[in-house]
């Protein structure tokens, strides 16, 4: 969604603009810290075929032996099926594998042993259950809306159109209040934890009803957008999303993850209630003639929320223990209401080093942080690291003492972003679901948030220095001359890429400020809100200006590489490693 395409729709429209501005500011911040946090080591690994062993997305056959099973309850139920009814199946008719059914006497039930879906004759939604330690638990309701926006009012009939060992599928036929037909197919595969919704006749939108105190819009390149229900006063709002939305539901024991192929329209989020009881009631996603998946990540403490106090001092326990080792993401709320996302550091043994997993890398980056939990020592003005876990998997956080701009206040949410080598095969993360639904190709497209292709973008400048050091220490510079030359070029490519991103964010800010000034004249009644948003936009220029004196120009880096090739590339004399660092330490320090 570009700034020029943001439509006026009252305060709600400008709320969407404000969220877009937040994304831009976060983008500027991430561009500055990207090189220190994520060395560019080559093509990014974003799909099942890119991983192997314990790093791969969990395989269905390994995780579960439960097969596809379908039943006809024989009698329609006016209420949602209780866990006891789902367990007992009293009076139900089991449908043999390979047999399809044109219509049901009672309600239709389809399960794969991990999730279960129910289409009841006396309801207008497909109900999604997950299986916990005490049996089936209702997690979400899936409702169809016509392309006109009119919701399904009653179920006309349901058919079992696929009933094989590997997958089962229900096709549902609804009527709107005006009598118009809406159809869709709901399919589950063996061992998976998601249901696939494929639009049929007149199906325009899927509403996912899932009461949640928080919704998270994951961003795999920058910071997430985390929405706390109690902070949104509107009954409904539209939010920008890059194909993913997480409903933090239950009592910290379930995440309902929505994955969708369409990207043309924003997601609509609805809310109800007041105060601490206010909840996000559901999300509405346009099909755009494409599939939508709804997954349930089930497990004790699969997500956790805590209110962070601005006056908290020292190290503070999160009151949470990691249920399994993975890369967990921590979404803090800053004092300016922006979301600040951090990977939770991991510690394997007491007194040992801390590691920082990266979903972009094939290996975990070892930080060797000290008791102050410092980030990479090459990063500019590095404050203490804000979140980590100890050897017993207990979580902690602390304020970033050296940065008033990064003080935290309010809700903080944790969830498992992706797996590491120690992640159990039967555990699911957000990236697992992304890989298993969209596949490798779409993921590569989605993770490139600006529409840029995943061409090689060079090597982080600190990585350039770290690669050159061992070569010169071993006096291999002549033998590896071509490699050294490529490393130098990679550093310049990387700096060019990062500076280009910063320039585009600055241009976005200037255009947005002009747009807001124009809207002030057209809609003076929104002046206060637009002024607040304009102040937010101004921070883009402020962020860039604060770093400008510490960042070298592309011409400077190119000249430095030229000097390196002339005076250091073939140098074999004494102190060659020190000479290499002296000439080429600039990019590692001044990005």
**Residues 119-131: tens digit of each pLDDT:** 999 999 999 999 9
Is 18 a residue whose pLDDT tops 90? no
Q: Higher-confidence residue: 289 or 34?
A: 289
The per-residue pLDDT of the chain, averaged, comes to: 80
- Check residue 456 and give its pLDDT: 54
- Please report the DSSP string for 517-562 in residue order: HHHHHH-GGGHHHHHHHHHHHHHHHHHHHHHHTTS--HHHHHHHHH
- Check residue 311 and give its pLDDT: 85
Across 12-16, 152-156, 385-389, least confident range: 12-16
Stated pTM of the model: 0.73
- Average pLDDT value for residue range 58-69: 57
Contact present, 108 and 158 (Cβ < 8 Å): yes
CATH class of residue range 60-298: mainly beta
Is 60 a residue whose pLDDT tops 50? no
Provide the residue ranges of all domains of the chain, joining segments of one domain with +: 23-41+456-589, 60-298, 304-436
- Check residue 532 and give its pLDDT: 86
Q: Higher-confidence residue: 441 or 417?
A: 417
- Check residue 358 and give its pLDDT: 63
pLDDT above 70 as % of the chain: 76
Confidence of residue 186 (pLDDT cuts 50, 70, 90): very high
Q: Higher-confidence residue: 469 or 268?
A: 268
- Dist CA 262 CA 291 (whole Å): 8
- Check residue 366 and give its pLDDT: 44
Q: Higher-confidence residue: 243 or 1?
A: 243
| Structural tokens at position 412 | 């903080």
Residue bearing tokens 């997950």: 130
Q: Higher-confidence residue: 550 or 98?
A: 98
* CA dist list (Å): 314 to 168, 335, 373, 376, 381: 53, 18, 12, 21, 20
Confidence of residue 39 (pLDDT cuts 50, 70, 90): very low
Longest dimension (CA), the chain: 89
- Dist CA 129 CA 119 (whole Å): 12
- Dist CA 459 CA 378 (whole Å): 15
- Check residue 577 and give its pLDDT: 59
Is 46 a residue whose pLDDT tops 70? no
- Check residue 578 and give its pLDDT: 60
pLDDT digits (tens, 9 = 90+) for 539-549: 888 888 888 77
Confidence of residue 585 (pLDDT cuts 50, 70, 90): low
Which string of b and e fits 300-310 if b means at least 16 CB within 10 Å? Answer: eebbbbbebee
| Structural tokens at position 503 | 């320039």
């Amino acid at each position: 969604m570009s700034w020029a395409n943001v439509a006026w729709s009252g305060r709600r429209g400008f709320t969407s603009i404000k969220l877009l501005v937040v994304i831009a500011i976060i983008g500027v911040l991430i561009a500055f810290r990207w090189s220190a946090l994520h060395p560019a080591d080559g093509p990014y690994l974003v799909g099942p075929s890119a991983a192997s062993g314990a790093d791969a997305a969990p395989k269905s056959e390994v995780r579960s032996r439960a097969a596809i099973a379908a039943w006809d309850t024989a009698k329609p139920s006016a209420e949602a099926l209780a866990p006891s009814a789902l367990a007992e199946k009293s009076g139900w008719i089991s449908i043999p594998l390979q047999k399809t059914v044109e219509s049901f006497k009672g309600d239709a039930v389809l399960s794969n042993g991990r999730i279960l879906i129910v289409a009841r004759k006396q309801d207008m939604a497909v109900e999604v259950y997950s299986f916990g330690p005490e049996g089936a638990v209702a997690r979400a309701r899936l409702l169809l809306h016509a392309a006109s926006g009119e919701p399904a009012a009653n179920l006309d009939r349901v058919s079992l159109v696929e009933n094989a060992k590997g997958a089962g599928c229900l096709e549902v036929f609804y009527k709107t209040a005006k009598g118009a037909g809406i159809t869709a197919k709901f399919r589950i595969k063996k061992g998976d934890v998601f249901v696939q919704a494929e639009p049929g006749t007149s199906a325009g939108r899927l509403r996912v009803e899932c009461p949640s105190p928080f919704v998270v819009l994951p961003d795999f390149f920058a910071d997430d957008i985390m929405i706390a229900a109690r902070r949104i006063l509107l009954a409904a709002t539209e939010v920008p999303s890059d194909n993913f939305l997480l409903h933090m539901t239950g009592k910290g024991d379930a995440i309902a993850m929505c994955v969708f192929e369409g990207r043309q329209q924003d997601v609509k989020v609805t809310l109800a209630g007041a105060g601490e009881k206010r909840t996000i009631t559901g999300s509405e996603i346009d099909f755009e003639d494409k599939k939508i998946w709804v997954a349930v990540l089930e497990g004790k403490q699969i997500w956790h929320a805590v209110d962070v106090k601005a006056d908290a001092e020292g190290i503070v326990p999160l009151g949470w223990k990691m249920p399994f080792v993975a890369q967990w993401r921590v979404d803090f709320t800053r004092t300016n209401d922006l979301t600040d996302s951090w990977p939770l550091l991991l510690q394997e043994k007491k007194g040992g080093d801390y590691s920082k997993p990266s979903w972009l890398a094939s290996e975990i980056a070892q930080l060797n942080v000290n008791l102050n939990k410092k980030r990479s020592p090459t990063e500019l003005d590095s404050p203490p690291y804000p979140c980590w876990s100890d050897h017993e998997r207990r979580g902690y956080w602390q304020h970033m003492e050296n940065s008033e701009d990064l003080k935290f206040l309010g809700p903080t949410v944790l969830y498992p972003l992706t797996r590491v080598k120690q992640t159990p095969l039967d555990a699911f993360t957000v990236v697992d679901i992304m890989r298993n639904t969209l596949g490798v190709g779409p993921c590569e497209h989605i993770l490139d948030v600006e529409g840029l292709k995943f061409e090689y973008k060079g090597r982080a400048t600190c990585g350039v220095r770290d690669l050159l050091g061992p070569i010169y220490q071993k006096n291999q510079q002549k033998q590896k001359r071509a490699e050294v030359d490529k490393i130098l070029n990679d550093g310049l490519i990387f700096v060019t890429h990062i500076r280009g991103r910063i320039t585009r964010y600055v241009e976005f800010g200037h255009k947005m400020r002009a747009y807001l000034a124009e809207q002030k004249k057209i809609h003076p009644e929104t002046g206060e809100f637009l002024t607040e948003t304009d102040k937010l936009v101004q921070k883009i220029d402020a962020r860039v200006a604060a770093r400008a004196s510490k960042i070298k120009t592309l011409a400077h880096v190119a000249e430095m590489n030229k000097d390196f090739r002339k005076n250091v590339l073939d140098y074999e004399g004494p102190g060659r490693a020190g000479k290499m660092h002296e000439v080429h330490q600039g990019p590692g320090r001044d990005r």
